[in-house]
Amino acid sequence: MPDVVPTSAPRSEELFARARAVTPGGVNSPVRAFNAVGGTPRFIRSASGAWLTDVDGREYVDLICSWGPMLLGHAHPEVLAEVEAAVRRGTSYGTPTEPEVELAEEIVARTSVERVRFVSSGTEATMSAIRLARGATGRDVVVKFAGCYHGHVDSLLASAGSGLATFSVPGTPGVPESSTALTLVLPYNDRGAVEAAFADHGDRIACVITEAAPGNMGVVPPEPGFNGFLAETCRRHGALFISDEVMTGFRVTRTGQWGLDGAVEGWRPDLVTFGKVMGGGFPAAAFGGRADLMAQLSPEGPVYQAGTLSGNPVATTAGLTTLRLATDEVYAHLGSVADTLKTAASDALSVAGVPHVVQATGTMFSIFLLDGGPVRDFDDASRTDSAAYAAFFHAMLDAGVHLPPSAYEAWFVSAAHDDRAVQTVLDALPGAARAAAAAQEGPA
């Protein structure tokens, strides 16, 4: 554990310059570029347990955990052993294999889904679930919520139109208006907006897709009963309810689905998407649901969907081993580490006089640097003081703690976050909170 971490990162600087010469922004996924916090991203050479080691040899407590997947920590010995054995048997055959059957059985046993199909990314999972929902209902319109992220699917990279229940506009160049013209973007946690959308377009709505508990605008839990309300509204109108658990699935609870454990009304989502933890750090994701709906998929049914590396034997082995090792004790440990960290962060920010709101869904939490609260939707989250977060982030980084380089992300912990890792974070917090206080934007 380094006592003093210099802020310069010469090898990372050099690699970043080389990366930018050959890759847009120097990264293969935008958030990694540090655009939201400034500075040079740390190029990581290796990771073990709760720790990342960068190419300059500095160590950081990892609070990104690959944006969720590394539930057990990095380079877990048993996961590595199974993966190494799988690699020696060959890495891809393009034929059915035993590990994919075992992983599917594990997911079916633990969750509400009756059939599951594997893909290689969460984006593919949501894209395929929406295609299936449209194919099964014979309808075209998709409802999503502002601030919920479902991967970079054309029809979901949409911004709200000019009013409630009006069709949306592309959220990025390169997405044609025709791709988002059938998407309705509504404010999260807003039952009235959902009712208005169904009143106007109910017989055209194929599905509502929502993060089971949003983590991609920071952690914004559904208000009690909101998911059940969505499921029931869909049922009444003959639409399907897609619960996107790519982030929450197997991270928040052992039984896979936060949205399910969170429900008391006895509803079930029609389709569910998974990713991140179920891939154990490999490119694997899935969508699943009711058997009759999944039977609509090719080759059993007419809705086409396929993938060269889908159900890859190495990836499914990593996922299966991870899920088998994710015991109740693991989730209890994640919960206690998360509690310690969020309490300490909140205390440090209070002492430094930085207004903030801590929100959590199970062991997934985030800290919004803003006055007031709770944060109910994307508009609320957008009031975050980005300058204060950037200062906080860099002070933590300098003290050996790697937070997500964006104010709108959850902090992730793992089973490998032990006392030494936690203490490193606790030691870093007061200074980072003072840095945030000094950088606050104008009067609150």
Ligand X SMILES: *Cc1c(COP(=O)(O)O)cnc(C)c1O
Residues that bind ligand X (CB under 6 A): 121-123, 126, 149-151, 211, 216, 244, 246-247, 275, 285
CA distance linking residue 27 with residue 302, whole number of Å: 38
CA distance linking residue 441 with residue 168, whole number of Å: 32
Angle between helices 191-201 and 226-237 (to 10 degrees): 10
Least Å distance, CB 244 to ligand X, is 5
Q: Which residues partner with 360 through β-bridges?
A: 365
Q: Which of 244, 270, 377, 380 is catalytic?
A: 244
How would you class 178 by CB atoms within 10 Å of its CB: exposed for 0-12, middle for 13-18, buried for 19 or more?
exposed
In this structure, the strands spanning 364-368 and 357-361 are antiparallel
Give the H/E segment covering residue 132: helix 122-137
The nearer residue to ligand X, 130 or 247, going by C-beta atoms, is: 247
The nearer residue to ligand X, 289 or 400, going by C-beta atoms, is: 289
| Residue 244 appears among annotated catalytic residues | yes
Q: Which of 276, 380, 385, 408 is catalytic?
A: 276
| Residue 149 appears among annotated catalytic residues | yes
Least Å distance, CB 15 to ligand X, is 23
The nearer residue to ligand X, 134 or 150, going by C-beta atoms, is: 150
Least Å distance, CB 389 to ligand X, is 20
The nearer residue to ligand X, 171 or 301, going by C-beta atoms, is: 171
**Position closest to ligand X via CB:** 122
Q: Which of 60, 149, 188, 408 is catalytic?
A: 149
Least Å distance, CB 286 to ligand X, is 11
- Closest-CA residue to 363 (of 77, 74, 129, 68): 68
- Closest-CA residue to 149 (of 261, 67, 62): 67
| Residue 190 appears among annotated catalytic residues | no
- Closest-CA residue to 73 (of 53, 55, 47): 47
In this structure, the strands spanning 401-402 and 59-62 are parallel
Least Å distance, CB 120 to ligand X, is 8
Q: Where do runs of H (alpha helix) occur along 173-245? A: 177-180, 191-201, 226-237
The nearer residue to ligand X, 12 or 121, going by C-beta atoms, is: 121
Backbone dihedral region of 209: left (phi > 0), alpha (psi from -120 to 50 degrees) or beta?
A: beta
CA distance linking residue 132 with residue 206, whole number of Å: 9
Least Å distance, CB 118 to ligand X, is 13
Least Å distance, CB 149 to ligand X, is 6
The nearer residue to ligand X, 151 or 313, going by C-beta atoms, is: 151
- Report the SS3 class of residue 404: coil
Least Å distance, CB 27 to ligand X, is 14
Contact 52, 60 (CB under 8 A): yes
HEC readout, 311-353: CCHHHHHHHHHHHHHCCHHHHHHHHHHHHHHHHHHHHHHHHHC
Q: What are phi and psi of 364, to 5 degrees?
A: -100, 125
CA distance linking residue 23 with residue 18, whole number of Å: 9
The nearer residue to ligand X, 7 or 159, going by C-beta atoms, is: 159
The nearer residue to ligand X, 286 or 354, going by C-beta atoms, is: 286
Active centre residues (catalytic): 149, 244, 276
